[in-house]
């Protein structure tokens, strides 16, 4: 089976959840036959491509095709570029709806259609390009429903996503939302993280990028800690979020190379980010590592009900009290971690997730398209 995968930027290094998701699909497709990555070297949307990363991806067995090598940018791409520049400059993040000019016109429709005539399956990463026509079965990987956090609304988003032969979603909540809109050609495929056996200690930590949603969660938790750290609970902070720490109760760690490093260091993991869309890959990582998890209500969105696999709290004070309790009580900490591992094995086992995706891709590559 020959496949082409449209991605907006370089998937290396694998330092975000979105890039990890890209590789989940890329590796499965590569295992099914020749796989070509289509992308852009420069803006609009192109980012991160270097000769070193290009060569590394080719060494992994992928072919690469870039927009700039095939076509010249037109007026629509120029318009989109300045739209993005203007909105970013004013901090208008909600202006980047599903069909915003910056994303929508980044890849001309005719380019992907012509390219796809050589392949058995086309996979498009991100819903912004769900409208692009393909000459073979088309899959759209939906990282999140942009309409949930933008001003645009859902009308055009629904029409465009409805043109796909299959929508792969990472969030159960968003799959239900799509079904309610009349879109049923969906497959729930949550982030794939391999299980890891790690000793469980009493150290408390949290992980996150420096996104606005994560910063809000961090500051929410700080309400119970105080800027002077009087809550007496040292909390290690990993990732870009460490740059936004204000309370002395936090111990900023910052960037890390091994994705599982925070979970090797911390037996108790806090999830204070409740805003946003999709599924937090950090939640899946913590479950895969069998950590004792304390989550703000809404932080474990997009996943099946926990049924005791984590502690859910409504206030920052409740989160701090639960963390102190788990720090002091080894048996409770171990019992909660055991439930997290059982939940992972039931719902998030990476081998099962990959096998399901591989089966669907194989059928689509043979021209067997879902009827609904």
pLDDT tens per residue, range 358-370: 999 999 999 887 7
What is the length of the chain? 372
- Per-position pLDDT tens, the chain of length 372: 999 999 999 999 887 778 989 999 999 999 999 999 999 999 999 999 999 999 999 999 999 999 999 988 889 999 999 999 999 999 898 899 999 999 999 998 899 999 999 999 999 998 999 999 999 999 999 988 888 888 998 999 999 999 999 999 999 999 999 999 999 999 999 999 999 999 999 999 999 989 889 999 999 999 888 655 555 688 999 999 999 999 888 999 998 888 899 999 999 999 999 988 778 899 999 999 999 999 999 999 999 999 999 999 999 999 999 999 999 999 999 999 999 999 999 999 999 999 999 999 999 999 887 765
The DSSP output letter for 345 is I
Distance CA 232, CA 219 (A): 17
- Token reading at 216: 């809000």
Distance CA 251, CA 201 (A): 17
Q: Which helix (H) or strand (E) holds 207?
A: strand 204-207
∠ CA(365), CA(171), CA(30), 5° rounding?
30
Cα–Cα distances (Å) from 294 to 40, 134, 291, in that order, read 40, 44, 10
- Token reading at 19: 């890039």
Q: Which domains does the chain have, with CATH numbers?
A: 3-192+351-365 (3.40.50.2000), 204-348 (3.40.50.2000)
Q: Which residue has the tokens 């809404």?
A: 298
pLDDT tens per residue, range 23-74: 999 999 999 999 999 999 999 999 999 999 999 999 999 999 999 999 888 8
Residue 249: the pLDDT is 87
Q: Are 99 and 160 in contact (CB under 8 A)?
A: yes
Distance CA 271, CA 258 (A): 19
31 Cβ contact list (under 8 Å, min separation 6): 358
Strands 250-254 and 166-169 come out as: unpaired
Q: Are 337 and 148 in contact (CB under 8 A)?
A: no
Is residue 219 helix, strand or coil? helix
- Please list the residues that pair with 54 across neighbouring strands: none
Q: Are 3 and 29 in contact (CB under 8 A)?
A: yes
Nearest to residue 198, comparing CAs of 287, 281, 270?
287
- Token reading at 338: 């055991």
Residue 73: the pLDDT is 84
- Token reading at 55: 């060569």
- Token reading at 155: 């009308």
Residue 276: the pLDDT is 80
CA torsion through residues 339, 341, 343, 346, sign: negative
Task: Please tell me the pTM assigned to this model.
Answer: 0.90
281 Cβ contact list (under 8 Å, min separation 6): 17, 20, 21, 191, 193
């Amino acid at each position: 089976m020959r496949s082409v995968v449209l991605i907006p930027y370089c998937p290396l290094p694998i330092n975000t959840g979105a890039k990890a998701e890209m590789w989940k699909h890329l590796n499965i497709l590569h295992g099914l036959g020749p796989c070509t990555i289509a992308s852009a070297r420069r803006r609009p949307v192109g980012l991160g491509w270097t000769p070193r990363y290009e060569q590394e991806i080719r060494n992994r067995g992928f072919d690469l095709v870039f927009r700039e090598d095939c076509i010249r940018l037109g007026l629509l791409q120029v318009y989109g570029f300045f739209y993005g520049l203007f909105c970013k400059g004013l901090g208008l993040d909600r202006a980047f709806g599903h069909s915003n000019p910056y994303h929508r016109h980044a890849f001309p429709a005719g380019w992907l259609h012509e390219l796809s005539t050589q392949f058995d399956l086309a996979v498009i990463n991100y819903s912004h390009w769900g409208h692009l026509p393909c000459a073979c079965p088309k899959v759209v990987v939906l990282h999140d429903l942009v309409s949930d956090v933008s001003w645009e609304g859902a009308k055009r988003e629904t029409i465009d996503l409805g043109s796909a032969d299959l929508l792969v979603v990472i969030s159960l909540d968003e799959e239900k939302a799509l079904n309610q809109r009349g879109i049923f050609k969906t497959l729930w495929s949550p982030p794939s993280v391999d299980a890891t056996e790690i000793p469980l200690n009493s150290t408390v930590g949290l992980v996150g990028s420096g996104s606005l949603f994560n910063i809000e969660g961090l500051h929410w938790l700080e309400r119970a800690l105080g800027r002077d750290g009087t809550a007496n609970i040292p909390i290690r902070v990993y990732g870009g979020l460490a740059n936004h720490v204000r309370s002395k109760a936090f111990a900023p760690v910052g960037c890390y190379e091994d994705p599982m490093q925070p979970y090797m260091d911390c037996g108790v993991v806090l999830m204070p980010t409740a805003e946003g869309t999709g599924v937090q890959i950090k939640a899946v990582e913590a479950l895969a590592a069998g950590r004792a998890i304390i989550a703000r209500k809404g932080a474990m969105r997009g996943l099946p009900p926990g049924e005791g696999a984590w502690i859910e709290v409504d206030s920052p004070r409740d989160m701090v009290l639960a963390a102190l309790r788990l720090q002091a009580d080894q048996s409770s900490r171990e019992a909660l971690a055991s439930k997290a591992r059982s939940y992972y094995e039931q719902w998030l086992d990476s081998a099962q997730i990959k096998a399901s995706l591989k089966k669907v891709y194989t059928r689509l590559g043979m021209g067997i398209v879902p009827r609904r």
